[in-house]
Amino acid sequence: MTAPIKNSNPVVLDVALGARAYDIVIGRDVLGSLGERIKAMRPGARIAIVTDATVAMHWLEKAEAALKGAGIESSRIVVGEGESSKSYAVLEEVCEALIAAKIERNDLVIALGGGVIGDLAGFAAAIVRRGVDFVQVPTSLLAQVDSSVGGKTGINSPHGKNLVGAFHQPILVVADTSVLDTLSPRQFRAGYAEVAKYGLLGDEAFFTWLESNHAGVFSGSAAREHAIATSCRAKAAIVSRDERETGERALLNLGHTFGHALEAATGFSDRLFHGEGVSIGMVLAAEFSAHLNMIAPSDAERVKRHLASVGLPTRMQDIAGFRQEGLADADALMALMAQDKKVKRGRLTFILLEKIGKAVIANDVDAPRVRNFIAEKLSQQPGR
């Protein structure tokens, strides 16, 4: 598999959901087309842009200019950066600001930002006036390849991640790959974990391609847009078949049961970005699959080796201050996993691997066995 030659034409993918179908537009500098695209879809609509302070510094004026160039006036709602904004308090702030801006049911909300903003703004749009349409303009790699597509919106609860939310599909996703140039290396790496996930769960050839071409994804060559388009195409196909996660869509949670528990254990803070939690979670899922004799230990090691090669954390001990703060507790992590959205009647569900490129949904996983596995991993010495 090789990456296509980069050209000036954006890639347009369709999320086939019947009356709720929408396009994902991927390409460099496509943010400039935002106004004309919205004007064609929703002439005369009022627009409110929800973003965070950091994204606003880099991209808010460009987004506003694109809208103004198409004759569209907009208002702005700027919230704090980071996972802490996915809270009841900030949700209330955004909802009240949308109502104050007189955003009505035929108007639009634009989520300009990473996964936090997409989840927060999308959830606010889902509940204000019982539902306002919204557009995703993802500005992080993680949001471009994953959270902006599929209609999952929500906020966190003190009990766990994304436990309060709604399915609310966007009407358009505009993924401008040039905005990724302003990400920190750590933010980009965190997003890359979700790219690797698509290879692991359903496309071994793509994972193999990433092992050879990840440097190009990071440097911004044609490989970057190819990786983003491949990831979006994979997610769009799964969402089209299982919009509400009644079956196959759960595969997209590979690494997330472990990862979300680790995020909760670290207080949803910048100590562990979501993609970093997913990276550790995917390694744990692969190692647990090997523990259950579903895959060879060498396959689990291959997963760990690739994620480590791009600088992602692969062990719970890699989280800063994890052991020192008393968070390295198998029972505490089990309690957090018990709040996972995939739990059914108290029984754990994990996404595991039958091979690299084939994930499966494992229902009713034996909790004591998971607890002993976690305890074993926590007891390992550095370097193992």
Q: How many CB atoms lie within 10 A of CB 349?
A: 19
Q: What's the token pair of residue 283?
A: 């390694």
Q: How many CB atoms lie within 10 A of CB 344?
A: 10
**Domains of the chain: residue spans and CATH:** 11-181 (3.40.50.1970), 185-379 (1.20.1090.10)
Q: How many CA atoms lie within 13 A of 151 on its CB side?
A: 25
Entry pTM? 0.92
DSSP 8-29: SSPEEEEE--GGG-EEEEEETT
Full pLDDT tens readout for the chain, 384 residues: 544 545 568 999 999 999 999 999 999 999 999 999 999 999 999 999 999 999 999 999 999 999 999 999 999 999 999 999 999 999 999 999 999 999 999 999 999 999 999 999 999 999 999 999 999 999 999 999 999 999 999 999 988 889 999 999 999 999 999 999 999 999 999 999 999 999 999 999 999 999 999 999 999 989 999 999 999 999 999 999 999 999 999 999 999 999 999 998 888 888 999 999 999 999 999 999 999 999 999 999 999 999 999 999 999 999 988 766 656 789 999 999 988 766 766 678 899 999 999 999 998 889 999 999 999 999 886 655
Which are the catalytic amino acids? 130, 152, 194, 235, 245, 249, 253, 256, 260, 274
Strand, helix or coil for residue 352: strand
Q: How far is CA 354 from the centre of its chain?
A: 23
CA distance 332 to 221: 43
Q: How far is CA 301 from the centre of its chain?
A: 24
Residue showing tokens 């994979």: 234
Q: How many CA atoms lie within 13 A of 163 on its CB side?
A: 17
